[in-house]
Chain A
């Protein structure tokens, strides 16, 4: 595919270059904190990118996407606790558990549309939250400390900050690449067609729910990967990662960056989390500044940051 030279692609390329070079900067300046911060950003960008697949391209407003962060995280945490430390076991199980959860809640939620879909996905995520809170053996409300990061038999050392960062970044770029291929494939066009006009798509012969459900499961599985990485990053997993405000954060990242644009969620995650970090250094009441800022983007920047950049390049 030909890649067009425009402002959006230039900004996306710059962001990727920045993310690739970040450990170098961190090393040279001795600023270790920035690497920790950006590891988290990269993981949440992956989660936001997966949400964008269903929300931006598929038109399915899931308000429970953080559930997969928790499921992926708990899969790693519980297995570690039970003595299964191998990443080759933990990661596939984290993905499979997320896929299964997505399959079940997707099959039920996709019977509804619009506001009901938002509410039912939210309800399922909250159920997952309360189930995790009730897991007394695994820390319950207090969460579960992971004493040893996933072990990849010497292939890669997740305990090494730089190696772990690059693993997360590779996963993010892999996910973005995968989504790029998917949205331009036959399957992707069907899913986007369903977002645009479901009745029309059924009239030309597409069984809508089947395609939407598969898309929903793909997004959930990818987010489960984010969950497994996040648990390794914090050496800890707790019900709080699944709380509905976390799902809201992911939605904000997608909307801020630009729904239905490939790199939008990545840029949204970087901007949102860096702003959060900077503003919280200035004042405890950082949300008071963040709120109006987001309102401004939503009200005036149709299509989020990517939408604004798109208009910029068209002049």
Chain B
């Protein structure tokens, strides 16, 4: 097998007495959509934050395309092609949708110690932004301030921002969180298109979406990976049933 795009080895992160990430190892192959599921408090966001560099692990290592990035700050990982969306929408709310995306494009277009020319008039950045916005269906909303967008649109904008950095690997932390049924369906459709272009690690509560999208699924419980495999393998796995699906009955959609 070729080198995986993302390799996580023996990752451990403790908060006081709690081990939020307990010796996690996983591989994500180039081109696959790898979902990470687990009950609330399983340590999914903690894991994602260590992949993006917002949180340092106590031990273990993270490799991106054969390169050790364990101790690299977030902005440098991003330069290597790692982009993320946040579980709780995190945008520049007083900027327009186009500005949000154009800044992401700018971040990957050399340094920004340019003090004079009007950045909002740079065609290259604006075109890239417009393309990413159109990609997620926000082409018509480019000039709306991010704060004025609906929640569903903000989730889509998060995705456009991540796409504008031309990532090799997209880490999506619950992109469906708080979306209604129609918005969720739109997001699933969008992800189905995107997965053809980019490797995705998807953390999601929405089981229907996960089983529809994922090539492989890793199940996280109390910080440990208890199973990893194709959707049908996971569905048949006894330990998963016991630890995850069994206790809470079959979780099809999470409560709203």
Contacts and interface: CB of A to CB of B under 8 A. Distances in A.
Contacts of A206: 75, 107, 112
Interface in B88-136: 90-95, 99, 103-104, 106-108, 112-120, 122
Interface in A1-36: 1
Nearest to B162: A204
Interface stretch (A161-169, A179-187, A247-255): A179-187
Contacts of A196: 92-95
Contact of B75 (A186, A192, A202): A202
A282 interface: no
A184 B92 contact: no
Interface string B155-173: 0000001001100000000
Given A185-B118, A186-B119, A189-B103, A203 B74 contact: yes
Contacts of B117: 185-186
Interface residues of A, number: 26
B93 A203 contact: no
Contacts of B122: 186
Interface residues of B, number: 36
B84 A203 contact: yes
A204 B54 CA distance: 12
B73 interface: yes
B108 A205 contact: yes
A123 interface: no
Contact of A184 (B84, B118, B161): B118
B61 interface: no
A199 B49 CA distance: 12
Nearest to A214: B113
Contacts of B99: 189
B222 interface: no
Contacts of A281: none
A190 B94 CA distance: 13
A188 interface: yes
A197 B91 contact: yes
Contacts of B70: none
B213 interface: no
B207 interface: no
Contacts of A204: 78, 83, 103-104, 107, 161, 164-165
A193 B115 contact: no
B75 A205 contact: yes
A202 B95 CA distance: 16
Q: With a 10 A CB-CB cut-off, give which of A189, A205, A214 has the most chain B CB atoms.
A: A205
A311 interface: no
B103 A185 contact: no
Given A184-B120, A186-B106, A203 B52 contact: yes
Interface string A37-80: 00000000000000000000000000000000000000000000
Contacts of B86: 199-200, 203
Contact of A197 (B79, B90, B113, B116): B90
21 contacts: A1-B118, A184-B118, A184-B120, A186-B114, A186-B119, A187-B115, A193-B103, A197-B90, A199-B54, A200-B86, A200-B91, A200-B92, A200-B161, A204-B83, A204-B104, A204-B164, A205-B79, A205-B104, A205-B107, A205-B165, A208-B75
Given A186-B112, A187-B112, A204-B165, 4 more contacts: A196-B92, A203-B83, A205-B78, A207-B75
